[in-house]
Amino acid sequence: MTFKEKVSVVVPTYNRRELLILSLKSVCAQTYRPLEVIVVDDGSTDGTVELKGSMIDYGRDNNVEIVWLTQKNFGVSSARNKGLEVSSGEYILFHDSDDLIDPDRICLQVKKLKRTGADLCASSQHRFYPDGHTTKYTPSVQFEDELTPVEIVRMHWGTQMFLYRRSALGVVKWNESLTCAEDIDFNFRVLQNNLHVSLEPNALTLIRETPSPDRLSHAQEGM
């Protein structure tokens, strides 16, 4: 579905070559257009850089602009800030490079933002595990179009939870000094501006859960 406003999806990555391919293909399968994807390779050493040409071509074949950036291993928050800086969309989504995204997620959330005038739109999340089982999380609210402050405080503020209007972010950046809970810190500083938050429960991200040591941390190497 084509809209006037562009959505930018910021995808930091570090040493997730094979999972990154799956993740980017799931983003390119979105029903929403126009769509740009900002990949920030944070100093990967597993050959991730070799994917650049083929993934840019894959995006072009699917009418998605993929911008591929590389930097030294400065960490996930630095990579997200770099991606945000070069992005050009009116709406912003932060997406982790091992996760998947339901094809209608962005379309559903943009529709909800446009209809309600909200600044942020929350979503649902499925966590899927190596043994095949899944768990689902949807924030508990009374009215989906406008969440109360208490409902917002109680919800999970993970990286993938919100689609943001760019105007809602203001000057807020990811704190590059943090080694854990940087998503909670970021969203706290965004949300303290008394923004209007809505919920689209049918918008879904599939979050991959892998056991340690395969699971990357929030430390400098993780994303």
Decide if 133 is inside a domain. Answer: yes
Decide if 51 is inside a domain. Answer: yes
Q: What is the mean predicted confidence (pLDDT) over 32-52?
A: 98
- Model confidence band, residue 223 (pLDDT cutoffs 50, 70, 90): low
CATH code for the domain of 166: 3.90.550.10
- Model confidence band, residue 210 (pLDDT cutoffs 50, 70, 90): confident
How many domains are there within the chain?
Answer: 1
The predicted structure's pLDDT at residue 100: 97
The strand pair at 2-13 and 91-94 is best described as parallel
Task: Identify which of 23, 38, 46, 94 has the alpha carbon closest to the alpha carbon of residue 68.
Answer: 38
The strand pair at 120-128 and 162-165 is best described as antiparallel
Q: What is the mean predicted confidence (pLDDT) over 28-42?
A: 98
Decide if 218 is inside a domain. Answer: no
Query: Residue 55 sits in which domain range?
Result: 2-208
Decide if 188 is inside a domain. Answer: yes
Decide if 129 is inside a domain. Answer: yes
Decide if 221 is inside a domain. Answer: no
Q: Is the pLDDT of residue 7 over 80?
A: yes
Element (H, E) at 138: none
